[in-house]
A = this chain, B = another copy of it.
Amino acid sequence: MSSRLRHRKTGGRRAKLAARQHVDLGTVAFIDRKIPYYEVLDEEGLQLIERNAETVLEEIGVEFRDFPEALALLKGAGAEVDGERVRFPRGLCRSIIQASAPAEFTQHARNPERNVIIGGKRTVLAPSYGSPFVRDLDQGRRYATIEDFRNFVKLTYLSPGLHHSGGTVCEPVDIPVNKRHLDMVYSHIKYSDKPFMGSVTAPERAQDTVDMAKIVFGDDFVEKNTVITSLINANSPLTFDATMLGAATVYARNNQATMISPFLLAGAMSPVTVAGTATQILAEALAGMTYVQLVRPGAPIIFGTFASSMSMQSGAPTFGSPEPALVLYIAAALARRLGVPFRSGGGLCASKIPDAQAAYESANTLQTAALAGVNFMLHTAGWLEGGLTMGYEKFIMDADQANMIAIILGGVDLSENGQAMDALREVGPGQHFLGAAHTQANFEKAFYRSPVADNNSFEQWLEDGSLDTAQRANLIWKKMLQDYEAPPLDPAIDEALQDFMVRRKSEFPDQEY
Contacts and interface: CB of A to CB of B under 8 A. Distances in A.
Interface in A339-379: 350-364, 367-368, 371
A436 B272 CA distance: 10
A285 to B, nearest CB: 15
A317 interface: yes
A447 interface: yes
A425 to B, nearest CB: 6
B456 A361 contact: no
A469 B313 CA distance: 19
Given A275-B419, A321-B450, A360-B401, A412 B267 contact: no
B326 A430 contact: no
Contacts of A361: 453
Given A52-B419, A316-B456, A443-B312, A429 B385 contact: no
A363 B432 CA distance: 30
Q: How many copies, total?
A: 2
B270 A447 contact: no
Contacts of A35: 40
Interface string A378-410: 000000010011000000010011001101100
Interface in A231-268: 235, 237-239, 266-268
A481 interface: no
Interface string A436-476: 10110011101111101111111011000010111000000
A55 B421 CA distance: 9
Contacts of A106: none
A430 to B, nearest CB: 5
B453 A350 contact: yes
Contact of A447 (B56, B239, B312, B454): B312
A237 B431 contact: yes
Contact of A371 (B371, B425, B427): B371
A430 B321 contact: no
Contacts of A38: 36, 38, 371
B432 A269 contact: yes
A56 B362 CA distance: 40
Contact of A430 (B63, B351, B430): B63
A468 B48 CA distance: 42
A269 B428 CA distance: 10
A334 interface: no
A453 B318 contact: yes
A137 interface: no
Nearest to A385: B458
Nearest to A389: B458
Q: List 6 A-B pairs, minimum CB-CB distance, nearest first.
A: A276-B420, A359-B359, A271-B420, A363-B363, A272-B446, A322-B407
Interface of A: 35-36, 38-42, 45, 48, 52, 55-56, 59-63, 65, 85, 141, 235, 237-239, 266-277, 279-280, 309-318, 320-323, 325-326, 330, 350-364, 367-368, 371, 385, 388-389, 397, 400-401, 404-405, 407-408, 411-414, 417-421, 423-425, 427-434, 436, 438-439, 442-444, 446-450, 452-458, 460-461, 466, 468-470
Given A279-B420, A316-B457, A357-B397, 19 more contacts: A38-B371, A48-B414, A55-B421, A267-B434, A271-B420, A272-B420, A272-B423, A275-B414, A276-B418, A276-B419, A310-B447, A312-B444, A316-B455, A320-B363, A321-B448, A323-B446, A323-B447, A356-B397, A359-B360
19 contacts: A56-B421, A56-B424, A237-B428, A267-B439, A272-B439, A272-B447, A275-B418, A276-B424, A311-B449, A321-B407, A350-B453, A355-B355, A356-B468, A356-B469, A357-B454, A358-B359, A359-B359, A371-B371, A389-B458
